[in-house]
């Protein structure tokens, strides 16, 4: 979106739905997005749904993410002119039409055959950025092709193999991914009972490994081509997918080899946020991976104020983990996040109705956010401060 473009009227989706209702049409999916998980559970297979909906351990962190947001309360203000609103924000040098992006979610083909290209097309159609996972089921070149020149960012699972890392960075650059999101909370896969009980892990069947299997540097480490020995390729992937021995000084390698913005994803502690700022990264995502990694961890929205206080004036603070409704976005922004990322709900939208389902999720969420903003007396995200919330 260029500066000259008028602000987008997100709340117009509300009128559109009622207007369509005059001909008897109702939305294909619920407009209360918290219902999507249950609908998806009913319609999709237990393996895929368990993988997406599941969390680490007995789900305490996923629960804490919701509890942290639910505990906050908005205090509405009245008699302020809220007739003209502009939800756009500047993030990593790009003007976004709303403080929102789709989070990197791996293996989307288990939800829908359209997989990442369908989700990316939905993001492009709505003008919001799409963050492509390293563990996508579609090679990054195909996803980029589906997006035209829409804003896209690449999420790096930082491989053990230096040449594969360099190859990913150069492919991503060539494909027009403008920022690099380095995920730091997944050096190992957590204890995930829903997947363990079903012995379900798509990667072991070569699903979610497309970026690796199509990569010349990855292929160079194989004795036979992937299609001739899938098991060997999968085993190679398992041992090079991540490097749990990495530490802060290793980040210099990424800085040297990526000339765009770098964002560290998975920060919860103010001291880690300070280290990120000292190192000079452009942003961080306050995230606990949607509660999928450390069971018993702090709710992400409970971690946010301390991180904002530590580094809010030094880099861009983004937020995810638990966002489900428009007021959740309001709360995260009031606590100091510049924008939020959305994970599971768009994966459910994709599973239920492909690209249209993802667009439905984006439009519902941002219409609800716009109305929440307006009805509590604000016209832009920049006006939100902790004052908009009841003291906690
Ligand atoms: C099925 C699934 C796969 C995910 N895959 C990735 C991934 O490949 N890379 C990554 O950085 N985060 C991944 N995440 C985490 C999301 O980017 C995001 O942090 C999280 O989903 C936010 O929480 P929410 O689902 O409550 O919105 C994944 C999350 C889910 C649910
Ligand atoms: O499932 C996840 O949360 C995830 O981020 C992931 C993606 C690919 C491989 C391993 C973990």
- Ligand 1 centroid from CA 377, angstroms: 32
Q: For residue 35, what pLDDT is reported?
A: 98
134 Cα nearest atom in ligand 2:
8
Closest ligand 1 atom, residue 320 Cα: 22
pLDDT of 3 > 90? The answer is no
When pLDDT is averaged across residues 349-370 and rounded to a whole number, the result is: 99
Residue of the CA atom closest to atom 11 of ligand 1: 183
Question: Residue 287: left (phi > 0), alpha (psi -120 to 50), or beta?
Answer: beta
Report the separation in Å between the CA atom of 81 and the middle of ligand 1, taken as the mean of its atom positions: 38
Q: Report pLDDT digits (tens) over 171-191.
A: 999 999 999 999 999 999 999
pLDDT(232) > 90: yes
Please say if the pLDDT value at position 193 is more than 90. Answer: yes
Ligand 1 site, residue 289, Cβ cutoff 6 A = yes
CA distance 177 to 164: 17
How many whole angstroms separate alpha carbon 125 and alpha carbon 121? Answer: 6
The three-state DSSP-derived secondary structure of the chain is CCCCCCCCCCCHHHHHHHHHHCCCCCCCCCCCHHHHHHHHHHHCCHHHHHHHHCCCCCCHHHHHHHHHHHHCCECCCCCCCCCCCCCCEEECCEEECCCEEECCCCCHHHCCCCHHHHHHHHHHHHCCCEEECCCCCCCHHHHHHHCCCCCEEEEECCCCCHHHHHHHHHHHHHCCCCEEEEECCCCCCCCCHHHHHHCCCHHHHCCCCHHHHCCHHHHCCCCCCHHHCHHHHHHHHHHHCCCCCCCHHHHHHHHHHCCCCEEEEEECCHHHHHHHHHHCCCEEEECCHHHCCCCCCCCHHHHHHHHHHHHCCCCEEEECCCCCCHHHHHHHHHCCCCEEEECHHHHHHHHHHHHHHHHHHHHHHHHHHHHHHHHCCCCCHHHCCHHHECCC
Say whether pLDDT at 276 is over 80. Answer: yes
Band the pLDDT of 263: cuts 50, 70, 90.
very high
Question: 76 alpha carbon to ligand 2 midpoint, in Å?
Answer: 39
Complex-level ipTM beyond the 0.95 threshold: yes
The structural domains of the chain, ordered by start, are 10-72+89-378 (3.20.20.70)
Burial of 258 (0-12, 13-18, 19+ CB in 10 A): buried
Q: How confident is the model at residue 2 (pLDDT cuts 50, 70, 90)?
A: low
Mean pLDDT of 85-98: 98
- pLDDT mean across residues, the chain: 97
Span 352-380, mean pLDDT?
98
**Rounded CA gap, 222 and 239, in Å?**
12
The tokens of 335 are what? 């606590």
Confidence of residue 5 (pLDDT cuts 50, 70, 90): confident
Model pTM above 0.95: yes
CA of 377 to the centre of ligand 2 (A): 39
Higher pLDDT residue, 392 or 50? 50
Residue 1 has pLDDT above 70, yes or no: no
Each residue of 133-171: pLDDT tens digit? Answer: 999 999 999 999 999 999 999 999 999 999 999 999 999
Residues annotated as catalytic (active site), given as ranges: 289
Confidence of residue 392 (pLDDT cuts 50, 70, 90): low
Instruction: Give the CB-side neighbour count of residue 86, counting CA atoms within 13 A.
Output: 13
Which of 189, 210, 213 to mutate to test ligand 2, by most ligand atoms within 8 A of the CB atom? 189
Atom of ligand 2 nearest to the CA of 105: 5
Q: Does the CB atom of residue 266 touch ligand 1 within 6 A?
A: no
Which atom of ligand 1 is closest in space to residue 285's alpha carbon? 19
């Amino acid at each position: 979106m260029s500066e000259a473009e008028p602000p987008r009227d997100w709340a117009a989706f509300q009128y559109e739905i009622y207007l369509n209702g005059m001909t008897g049409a109702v939305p294909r999916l619920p407009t209360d997005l918290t219902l999507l998980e249950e609908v998806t559970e009913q319609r999709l297979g237990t393996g895929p749904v368990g993988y997406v909906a599941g969390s680490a351990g007995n789900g305490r962190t996923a629960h804490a993410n919701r509890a942290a947001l639910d505990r906050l309360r908005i205090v509405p203000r009245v008699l302020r002119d809220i007739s003209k609103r502009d939800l756009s924000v500047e993030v990593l040098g790009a003007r976004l039409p709303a403080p929102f992006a789709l989070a990197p979610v791996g293996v989307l083909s288990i939800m829908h055959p359209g997989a990442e290209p369908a989700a990316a097309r939905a993001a492009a159609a709505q003008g919001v950025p799409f963050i492509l996972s390293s563990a996508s089921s579609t090679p990054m070149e195909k996803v980029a092709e589906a997006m035209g020149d829409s804003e896209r960012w690449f999420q790096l699972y930082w491989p053990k193999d230096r040449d594969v890392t360099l190859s990913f960075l150069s492919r991503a650059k060539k494909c027009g991914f403008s920022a690099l999101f380095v995920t730091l909370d997944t050096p190992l896969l957590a204890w995930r009972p829903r997947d363990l009980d079903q012995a379900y892990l798509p990667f072991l069947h070569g699903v979610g490994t497309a970026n690796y299997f199509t990569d010349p540097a990855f292929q160079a480490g194989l004795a036979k081509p992937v299609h001739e020995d899938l098991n060997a390729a999968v085993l190679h992937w398992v041992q090079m997918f991540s490097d749990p021995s990495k530490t802060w000084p290793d980040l210099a390698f990424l800085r040297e080899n990526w000339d765009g913005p770098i964002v560290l994803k998975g920060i919860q502690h103010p001291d880690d946020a300070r280290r990120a700022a000292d190192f000079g990264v452009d942003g961080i995502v306050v995230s606990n991976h949607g509660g999928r990694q450390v069971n018993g961890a702090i709710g992400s929205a409970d971690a946010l104020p301390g991180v904002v206080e530590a580094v809010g004036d030094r880099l861009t603070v983004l937020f995810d983990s638990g966002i489900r409704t428009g007021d959740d976005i309001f709360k995260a922004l009031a606590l100091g996040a510049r924008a939020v990322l959305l994970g599971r709900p768009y994966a459910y939208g994709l599973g239920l109705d492909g690209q249209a389902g993802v667009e439905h999720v984006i439009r519902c969420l941002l219409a609800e956010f716009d109305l929440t903003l307006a009805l509590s007396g604000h016209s832009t995200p920049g006006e939100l401060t902790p004052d908009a919330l009841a003291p906690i």
